[in-house]
A and B are shown apart, each in its own frame.
Chain A
């Protein structure tokens, strides 16, 4: 197990390094950030001074090396727009994003898992049809549009919730529900297919033949095994979820890390941009790592095969 975790950790570091290179390059593709940062009256000398001050006169690989060394020390640089350390910005905005992700995941688990279980056990019945409808609607509706529809009904026609930009609990309701529609769809679908596969297996027939009550068969023998495929896809879903968060945050003007990325990309604030994107992708890679390790822990077959 230890060697398995070690190997996965090493792979994650390699991917993160590759990722940092891509992020660095893409952040620099946007043209000279100095031009965006200076006022229009700035002279040629001002431009040269700022370029030297920001270290942008050095060759690219040297700039990358400087950045990576800083990052390794937990320093993401100073935001050129906000004039505070990027790590503080990532912390503040990241917390708000985390709120949305956690709320929507809780909603999804609360509704998606029971719905998926019932749908998988009683295939073709009412609950199954409801579950499949929710699953396919949640995967088909564009998040930004769902957000606007909810906003129209619950903030404009019936002004129950604030429209935009409130990071309080009331302001979190609509963005969380928007995101939850997507996550619930995914969880329901995975739980359903996991349950169908588990319920068709020999050990369920065995458990039933032993005369165990149906509830124990479904929850102890069925659901426990259905969790494995749910977990496999959880890591992949997380990356997609982070994309969804960006869109939802822009729709509701929610002050999260997606919004931070969006604004710093538009404003030429490349230290913040690099830092925010690195934070997001590092989280995705970390979640995938945790999922893989948990996966190996729950299902020993995987551990032995991979190690």
Chain B
């Protein structure tokens, strides 16, 4: 690569990454303090103010910057208040998935044979089940709730961690330091926890950041189908679904929360890719 193009690329890229980090910071603030800074109640509307357009359209005002929905709730307030559900569920599910998937991957890769065969079939199961369908089924069976969402996300997600960690362990197992540890009389448990685990930490961290955007999208899709965050809580996907009936007369009701999802996911995708390139360029295809 010529030095000129490299400098140019670095510049635009760092501006984009910086903007995305900035957006994520704002989202984190919204997640913690969103309910304190919203201009209107996110769950109660003023019926007289129903279907107000956003401020840049005719008839819109700064009172409701992004307009109102069919029962007069402020869309901006609902979007801000919805951040904590989107981000919170996503992060909790990723942590639980990693806590299950990483040990499974370590054990499966280290011991191989029968254990490996069992774990890998379970991984196949998690990978082949379309999670939207599982989410739908479970939410009908158990009722749409945050815990149902978590079950679905963990069921379909732990296998990604297990698979990746197992692959790493398979090659780490052949290295000299593992062989030496064995010669020195280390137990299997010690080799796994002291020698293998620290070596897969980077991969796990990268995978965790990359999963954030994926889980936010899944939560939004399930909410859209009515199987996510239960109303009147402002789930972003549910807000898009609420606006479907008014698509021809009041398109902003669906458009605004959709844009919020896209900007959020875009930011996490960009930052996730950037972290991956920094920490572990080998993981190009994750």
Contact = CB atoms under 8 A, between A and B. Distances in A.
B149 interface: no
A284 interface: yes
A211 B131 CA distance: 50
A141 interface: yes
B258 A149 contact: yes
A136 B266 contact: yes
Interface string A265-296: 11000000100010011001100100000000
A144 B262 contact: no
B251 interface: yes
B269 interface: yes
A123 interface: yes
B124 to A, nearest CB: 4
A17 B261 CA distance: 37
Interface residues of B, number: 50
Contacts of B133: 242-243, 246, 258, 261, 277, 280
Interface stretch (A25-33, A55-63, A71-79): A25-33
A284 B127 CA distance: 9
Interface stretch (B25-33, B102-110, B135-143): B135-143
B237 interface: yes
Interface string A48-86: 000000000000000000000000000000000000000
Contacts of B125: 15, 18-19, 22
A239 interface: yes
A297 interface: no
A108 interface: no
Interface in B105-164: 121-122, 124-125, 127-134, 136-138, 140-142
Query: Interface on chain B toward A: helix, strand, loop, or mixed SS?
Result: helix
Interface size class of A (residues with CB under 8 A): 35 or more
Nearest to B263: A140
B137 A273 contact: yes
A196 B217 CA distance: 28
B70 to A, nearest CB: 15
Contacts of B284: 193, 196-197
B240 A144 contact: yes
18 contacts: A11-B124, A19-B129, A27-B137, A29-B137, A124-B5, A124-B9, A125-B5, A137-B266, A140-B213, A142-B261, A156-B248, A190-B285, A193-B284, A233-B285, A242-B133, A262-B225, A265-B137, A288-B128
Interface of A: 11, 14-15, 18-19, 22, 26-27, 29-31, 123-125, 136-137, 139-145, 148-149, 151-152, 156, 190, 193, 196-197, 229, 233, 236, 239-240, 242-244, 246-247, 250, 258, 261-262, 265-266, 273, 277, 280-281, 284-285, 288
What are the 9 A-B residue pairs with the smallest beta carbon separation, nearest first? A145-B258, A29-B141, A243-B132, A140-B266, A140-B265, A243-B130, A242-B130, A30-B141, A15-B124
